[in-house]
Chains A and B, each alone.
Chain A
Amino acid sequence: MLTIKNLHATIEGKEILKGIDLEIKAGEVHAIMGPNGSGKSTLANIVAGNEAYEVTKGEIIFEGKELLEMNPEDRAREGVFLAFQYPVEIPGVSNATFLKTAINEIKKYHNQAELTPKEFLSLMKEKSKILGMEEALISRSVNVGFSGGEKKRNEILQMLMLNPKLALLDETDSGLDIDALKIVSNGVNLFKAKDNAVLVVTHYQRLLNYIQPDFVHVLYNGRIIKSGGKELALELEDKGYDWIKPELVESETVYRS
């Protein structure tokens, strides 16, 4: 579904990603872990099309298409979704207006019939229920007056509504208490299917107790320095990141000589 090859990227001239290779297949859940500033969020944002970053080398192929040549809205229409680490507030635009516009723009792109108001409303009700969100929220402005946890839930609600092929979850667990974490994870688990994929970006192993990854990658200083199964996440929880770093130093030394 997604193939990232030798991806290099900079922001304001500073190199953040220094050669990322990653392959995600339909039906898989991948987790990217790593310390702060390692480039995890950058990677998710480049896939979603954030224009603040400059890709200096490499390519991203999504469902056979060159993603880097598309604007963010087309990537979304092709099936990429990013749940933001810091969701944005949009006063004066209701959740209903926002989501209905988004869904219908995606439908238009695929030459599909737009949702009727009735269809939209029943879909919204069904999905809100999964996330334990009140119906009143539908008419409230996007993320305005929401707590940190509510904003994260709203991101997952948007994901369920838009039903993407690839969901990128950027630190969705941060700022969530245990109950909210369970609700959000449940939403993601209901979403998971054979024909879609999830990439979880997280600092902590905690979320991965609820969303079981098939693959775990450790990102450090702009490179994936270790990949493994879900047991890698547990190992990181136990030992931290330090035990891997020497390997990196070693490999760099070897590389240089």
Chain B
Amino acid sequence: MNFPILSAIIFIPLIGALFIFITRGSQKNVEKNSKYVAIFSSLTNFLLSVFLWFSFDMTTSNFQFVEKKIWMEGFINFQLGIDGISILFILLTTFIAPICIFSGIQSIKFKLKEFLIAILVMETLMLGVFCSLDLVIFYLFFEGGLIPMFLIIGIWGGPKRVYSAFKFFLFTLLGSVLMLIAIISIYWITGTTDVIKLLDSKIIQEYQYLLWLAFFSSFAVKLPMWPVHTWLPDAHVEAPTAGSVILAAILLKMAGYGFIRFSLGLFPVASDYFAPLIFTLSIVAIIYTSLVALMQDDMKKLIAYSSVAHMGFVTIGIFSLTKQGLEGSIIQMISHGLISAALFLCVGVVYDRYHSRMISSYGGLVNIMPKYALVFMIFTLAALGLPGTSGFVGEFLVLVGIFQINVLVAILASLGVILAAAYMLWLYRRVIFGKLASAEIKEMKDLNTTEIYVFASLAFLILFFGVYPEPLFETVNISVNNLITNYQDNLNFHLALKNN
């Protein structure tokens, strides 16, 4: 197939953004047209990516739909391609983006046009991260996301938005510049930044440790891992709902994807060596941030901390290097993408109506917003990993995976499941049940039609993948197998080299 479908998927949102950028006319017309363009381009993109999924060949672990263009003559090509792992993230991104746009249209009160441009540009950059098969291109997309996100938090955010935007930007930038050094070093060590070639080449062992650490510094900040997670609660709390959704659902997953693709693929020896470090940090993250989440009185902050804890499961799964662990962490990322998006949207719903994120401002919502209480319950249960929701599948597999490697880590990690149940259920009880916190809440209206559709689609996917996760497994299966085989080969190769 010659049609450059990946480029199309990446750049359709950008073209949409360009259209919005050049629309002129009266304020009302511009806003109306921007809305249509944004919805249209993001939905087209979603359909295109579904089509991509159907035409994706699940029987091979090779990269598919590979596109290659000369970019920096002589040393870097613009190379795109996907395998079973990246396609799921593409689907997640193209699915979440329209949801963000719907949410933005509902709740953004000023500069809607610019907001839609920022979201669409963001979508392009995130898709680029998951499609790129060249380290420099990857870095370009990975870092480029800082600009729109900075603006989204800073312009449309809450009262402390400036502080949060700066913290987000500088933290992530500091993490990433080390990755840039590592990427350039890789170029000088191996002579290429082409990921396909690099995955086959074996980087000399003594370089691997430092390079791994440089990549780790970037991904750990972005994921985020304890102790560099502190930007996340701030950014989440201050960002507008749509910004929080993008942040939680996709931005964090870029780091997880990076761990799988680059840390495991390029530096197997170092990954093996540093796995205990990852386990330790993840365990601390799971237990510590869950405890912190228990004590929050701000709904968004609570969910933000729970995100850190959930991402702890992801890293444990990735570095357990078992088939179950890896597949579990991929599914955990996808399901967390859906669940956290849904939870932030839930907070957004009440925030739009009552302008408070404090748990204590609410209570007894079940009496006035029964539909809302129902969807919030579904997502709460999914977040704590109730069987039958996608949250359960991921966490369960991760625990199965890590149990084979290290029982202690498995036991400690499973504490996180209990704590998750504690803080999520407690949150639900305080917000939905009990007495009405104040008379003013009575004025709040239940979900409107757009919100019902958005929540229904999210709930459908969460329940569907909870009951029948087979499509996900089928997609990632061969790629994960191949990843593990390569990893073991590579490890054995270096072991043999050492023994000689």
Chain B associates with chain A: no
Residues of A within 8 A of B (CB): none
